[in-house]
Structure 1
Amino acid sequence: MKLLLDFLPIVVFFIVYKMTGSLIIATAVLIPVTVLQVLFTWWRYRTVEKMQLVTLGLVIVLGGLTVLLHDGEFIKWKPTIVNWLFAAAFLLSPLVGRGDNKGKPVVQRMMEKSVTLPGRVWMRLNLAWVLFFIVLGGVNIAVFTLYSENVWVNFKLFGMLGLTVVFILVQGVYIARHAEQNTHSDR
């Protein structure tokens, strides 16, 4: 359910854009939907992730500028900024943390209960995510700069989601390969 909730604002944005052909209207709808998503997350789970709050802030600021100035360029930058903030968070994560999390990359913190991997593999995975987020942010700029608004809206939902799924599958293969090696070395 959480995954569906995470994608709700972008799906609503996409549907409204396709129905109206207006990036301004789609953005005007995106803002309250994102606010409601965060409020529902708080109500349901009694916690909201920091990046969700950052994303909400960017939607309000960049979306607000898009609507107020009738300029879609502002909202087009949001995916790039979010991805680059994720890259920075993943890159800096080994430097931040308390207790058991000190010195661990964020990918390890998220997955170590399910998977046991050597420290160097966790660091490589984390770096792979950093690079992925940087590239995805750059690709977003290329798409909104070189292609039509309609192509960008399609890319924002299907392209970014598709690239993320492919990256996760590749990461899964990498993890499985190293988890097997780790298991074999325990015998």
Structure 2
Amino acid sequence: MKFLFDLFPVILFFGVFKWGEGNPTAAQSLVQEYLSGIVSGGVAALDQAPIMLATAVAILATLGQIGYLLLRRKKVDGMLWVSLAIITVFGGATIYFHNETFIKWKPTVLYWFFGAALLISQALFKKNLIRLMMEKQIMLPDPLWQRLSLIWAGFFAAMGVLNLYVAYSFSTAIWVNFKLFGFTGLMFAFIIAQSMFLSKHIKDPS
């Protein structure tokens, strides 16, 4: 359930974009009705309406995630706050300038932020964020924790580069598909590979 909760804005972004792609006139009408006040010039081009509408929905979905957690008095992860800040800035720029380039940079900025956070925490504050998240489930020697943190940082850096490659080498429609299916698949594959490597270190619950 948490996985689906985390993916909620991405799934909505994908669904709304696909709907808008098939119904550009309706998407343009919705953008004109609800977003014209924050669009430069007040007019959205027909080909830009789907990505603008999808971006607005993704921003609202991320706000909704945080609101839901706050209403239930649950802790909001720092990563979710960071994601909200980044999608609001870059998504807002996409809507205002009616230019998809900004929202295409959002995953890269987010991935690179996470990678930098891992490296900076380790180098400056002597805190291994991966260890803080996982040490209740597995026991590892200190060198392996450091290696694991570097591997995650490298993975995030590579994901950021891959996002830019897809964004600039292919159409927006292909990028939207890859954003949901490609990145999710790569994340799953990475986690499974990591789990297999670390399986001998997982504590026996008995």
TM-score by length of 2: 0.80
- How many Å separate the matches in 2 of 1:41 and 1:82? 21
Alignment partner of 1:29 is 2:57 = yes
> Which whole-Å deviations, capped at 9, do the CAs of 1:129-152 have from their partners, x for residues lacking one?
000000000000000000111110
Please report how far the alpha carbon of residue 175 of structure 1 lies from its aligned counterpart in structure 2 after TM superposition. Answer: 0.8
Structure-2 separation of matches of 1:144 and 1:84: 16
CA gap 1:131/1:12 in 2 versus in 1, 3 angstroms: same
**Which residue, out of 95, 106, 119, partners 2:129?**
106
Does residue 170 of structure 2 align to residue 147 of structure 1? yes
- The counterpart of 1:159, out of the listed 176, 182, 191, is 182
Are 1:51 and 2:79 an aligned pair?
Answer: yes
Aligned pair count reads 176
Which SS does the other structure have where 1:5 is aligned?
helix
Structure 1 CA distance, aligned partners of 2:144 and 2:17?
42
2 CA distance for matches of 1:49 and 1:95? 22
The separation in 2 between residues aligned to 1:160 and 1:41, in whole angstroms, is: 25
Q: Distance in 2 between matches of 1:93 and 1:170?
A: 24
**What displacement does 1:11 show?**
0.3
Partners of 1:152 and 1:71 in 2: CA distance: 14
Residues 14-25 of structure 1 correspond to what in structure 2 (within 5 A)?
14-21=14-21, 22-25=50-53
RMSD: 1.8
Instruction: Give unpaired runs (5+ residues) of structure 1.
Output: 98-102
Return the offset for 1:31: 1.4
Partner of 1:2: 2
Q: Which amino acid aligns with 1:60?
A: T
- State the Cα distance separating 1:128 from its structure 2 match: 0.4
Deviation sequence 1:44-89 (CA, Å, 0-9, x none) = 2432122211110111111111111110110000000000000011
Q: Please state how far the C-alpha of 1:19 moved relative to its aligned partner.
A: 0.7
Partners of 2:192 and 2:51 lie apart in 1 by 32
* Residue aligning to 1:91: 119
Gaps of 5+ in 2: 22-49
Distance 1:33 1:106, change over 3 A: same
1:107 positional shift: 1.0
Q: For each residue in 1:144-186, what CA deviation from the matched residue of structure 2 results, as whole angstroms up to 9, or x when unmatched?
A: 0001111100110011111011000111111125x28x99xxx
Distance 1:7 1:45 in 2: 21
What SS does the aligned partner of 1:77 have?
helix
State the alpha-carbon separation in 2 of the partners of residues 93 and 171 from structure 1.
21
Alignment counterpart, residue 88 of structure 2, candidates 46, 50, 60: 60
Which position in structure 1 is the counterpart of 2:44? none
Displacement after TM superposition at 1:5 (Å): 1.4
2:43 counterpart residue number: none
